[in-house]
Amino acid sequence: LAKTTQPISMDSYEGQEVNITCSHNNIATNDYITWYQQFPSQGPRFIIQGYKTKVTNEVASLFIPADRKSSTLSLPRVSLSDTAVYYCLVGDIRGNDMRFGAGTRLTVKP
Amino acid sequence: NAGVTQTPKFRVLKTGQSMTLLCAQDMNHEYMYWYRQDPGMGLRLIHYSVGEGTTAKGEVPDGYNVSRLKKQNFLLGLESAAPSQTSVYFCASSYMTGGSNQPQHFGDGTRLSIL
């Protein structure tokens, strides 16, 4: 089963790029890597998903090396509103081996 | 378009009481999930369903039961509540397309306290 490990917290300043890495040494062939953002009193909200290599959308990029044992969420030019908890999820939605990391609390300072 | 709706939003129970949490989705998704979220532990999968009439155990299923009688609804039951089940419960739904996973959509949670 893929165990996911991510840093507990990170600090940044407005306008900087933030990179959050998740480790998942036991990732399975069918597993996807998905990142979510969560604000207090809300459910997690999808940011980006990938299987291998690099994925980019309008809010973030996801870098996955060839061995897929880790992944890095990149948030370009963060703002105060990006202060939240970010979760890495590894697994296949068809099975029970999905594993969330414990979350990284990102604090963006002015 | 409501997405995923959880009922109730808050509840306080006494040890030994029973209750049912309701999750409803209006996106015609095949897959539905129940998670619990505890401080410092992220979200842990309790039970899930890959279609109407089917359910399966997740990582932490003990003390919970589920039912999926209709595609749009997924119920989570606590038969005899225990203080260890104090948590925030999240429901999610998803689907596959072209053989690829699609992201899960989450409700806003049910905050359950058991005294």
Query: Residue B52 belongs to a domain with what CATH number?
Result: 2.60.40.10
Question: Which residues constitute the domain of residue A60?
Answer: 9-109
- Closest partner CB to B50 (pick from A49, A87, A94): A94
The number of distinct structural domains making up chain A is 1
Do B42 and A93 make contact, defined as CB atoms within 8 angstroms? Answer: no
Q: What residue ranges of chain B have pLDDT lower than 50? A: none
Pairing of strands B10-13, B110-114: parallel
The answer to whether residues A6 and A100 touch, using CB atoms and an 8 Å cutoff, is no
A40 CB neighbour count, 10 Å cutoff: 6
* Confidence category of residue A42, pLDDT binned at 50, 70, 90: very high
User: Does the pLDDT of residue A41 top 70, yes or no?
Assistant: yes
Do A34 and B104 make contact, defined as CB atoms within 8 angstroms? Answer: yes
Residue of B46, B8, B20, B26 lying closest to B93 (CA atoms): B26
Question: Which residues constitute the domain of residue B74?
Answer: 4-96+103-114
The answer to whether residues A36 and A90 touch, using CB atoms and an 8 Å cutoff, is no
Asked whether residue A2 is domain-assigned, the answer is no
Do A93 and B101 make contact, defined as CB atoms within 8 angstroms? Answer: yes
Substitution target in B45, B88, B91, B101 with the highest count of A β-carbons within 10 Å is B101
Asked whether residue A21 is domain-assigned, the answer is yes
Q: Where residue A22 sits, what CATH number does that domain have?
A: 2.60.40.10
A:B CB pairs within 8 Å: 59
- A61-101 pLDDT, tens digit per residue, is 999 999 999 999 999 999 999 999 999 999 988 877 889 99
Residue A3's pLDDT is 83
The number of distinct structural domains making up chain B is 1
Beta strand ranges found along A29-103 (DSSP E): 32-38, 45-50, 53-56, 61-64, 70-75, 84-91, 99-100
Question: DSSP class of residue A5?
Answer: B
A59 and chain B in contact, CB less than 8 A: no
